[in-house]
Amino acid sequence: MNPNKFLYKCTDCGREYSTGETIYLCPACCITNRATNPPSGVLKILYDYSDLRKKDYRFDDLKKSGFADLLPIASLDSYPSLRVGNTPLYTMNTVDGERVPFRLHLKDDSQNPTYSFKDRASALVSAYAVEHDLGTIVTASTGNAGSSLAGICASKGQKAVIMVPETAPLAKLTQIIMYGATLVPVKGTYDDAFDLSIRASEEFGWYNRNTAYNPLTIEGKKTVSFELFDQLQFKVPDRIFVPVGDGVIISGIYKGFEDLMQLNLIDRMPVIIAVQSEKSDNLVRNIGMKEFSVIPSSTIADSISVDIPRNFFMTRGYMQQYGGEAITVSDEEITRASSVLSASTGLFAEPAAAAAFAGLLSYLRDNRITENSDNVVMLTGSGLKDLKSVASIIRMPESIPPSIEELKRLLA
């Protein structure tokens, strides 16, 4: 691969690195990192936008090429054969049975191969590993990133080691095992698993996929922005509601639209709303604070249950630069949103994804959505990944003898 195709820029000190070697955090900034704080030195990948602008791209040109000039790999052939991305965008005009005066778009990333948004990042990490002859890939995960990496690696014949907190949902752990990856349950939190995976990378030379720690995760996730622009017929949505844990999905969405701005294909950024659970709000609560503080997470939305958001500084920078907004929702609101979403649209989302819909419901309730506007909710994972979280609102009917009389009684 041409080492000059892209460079890394530290989101803290601004240093730039042009190298063909694998690099994670900024070497100058990461030496001051402490385990109790979000890491400094997270890297953003930049391309030669001035040279790309000379090609006078239309969006269709980029789409036909698979956005190859905006991806940090040499060839799209390095990608897994599974279909990752190009997920449906459904447009609704009612919410909970009531017509709304705006357009509601639901981006259903549960249609990815392992049923979550995380496949976008895993596919790019896998492709990079193929091109650089990297062997085992390791990641820490609350479940989705781990099952994603395990599935993507299975499709490419790559080895994967997945470290998860022992409380991760059974469905996600089952996926990891079925995909043939090595599952390592860790006594402790996601952050404990994260730190162990980094030490394992250093000890065994494994390639690390960890969210934010590996800058390619943001590049993989940004592809959803290209799809949204295309699916909305070359329009920038007015708002995008995003479930937030570590801050990588929301940063990826910002980065995708930022790339399009750099190529003069769009002239504005959507308002992006970071939605967190009240019981895991360590990212949005700290945005305006001088000192970072942690409140232990205990939300039902395990995919966004994070004590130390690893992409805090980049997310904060994006939100401050582009006027992003933030909201927290209760676990009760998340559960209700999951129910409303399923019954109203036929889309069954896991709690983390339902959190984004709960954010939209809150904006709707407070009359904060403009008429005739385009509003996107990111549905990042399937509800089948965590059935335990909705058990409290499920009433399973008793079985009946096979008679019409008993059926009438049940229906009554």
pLDDT (tens digit per residue) in 313-369:
999 999 999 999 999 999 999 999 999 999 999 999 999 999 999 999 999 999 999
pTM recorded for the entire structure: 0.95
For domain 89-114+217-393, is the CATH number 3.40.190.80? no
Task: Give every residue of the chain whose pLDDT is below 70, as ranges.
Answer: 1-3
DSSP type of residue 113: T
Give pLDDT, residue 293: 96
Give pLDDT, residue 391: 78
**384, 113 contact by CB (below 8 A):** no
Helices 223-231 & 248-262, crossing angle to 10 degrees?
A: 60
Give pLDDT, residue 167: 87
**Domain spans of the chain?**
89-114+217-393
Provide the strand spans (E) within 244-340: 271-277, 325-329
Phi, psi of 343 (to 5 degrees): -70, -25
The dihedral sign for the CA sequence 208, 118, 141, 149: negative
**214, 24 contact by CB (below 8 A):** yes
Beta bridge partners of 117: none
Give pLDDT, residue 392: 80
Map residue 207 onto helix, strand or coil: strand
Spatial separation of the C-alpha atoms in residues 72 and 274, rounded to whole Å: 26
Spatial separation of the C-alpha atoms in residues 88 and 106, rounded to whole Å: 8
146-185 tens-digit pLDDT: 999 999 999 999 999 999 998 888 888 999 999 999 999 9
**382, 148 contact by CB (below 8 A):** no
Structure tokens at 208: 């690390």
Please report, to the nearest 10 degrees, the dihedral formed by the alpha carbons of residues 29, 30, 34, 36 taken in order.
90
Give pLDDT, residue 203: 97
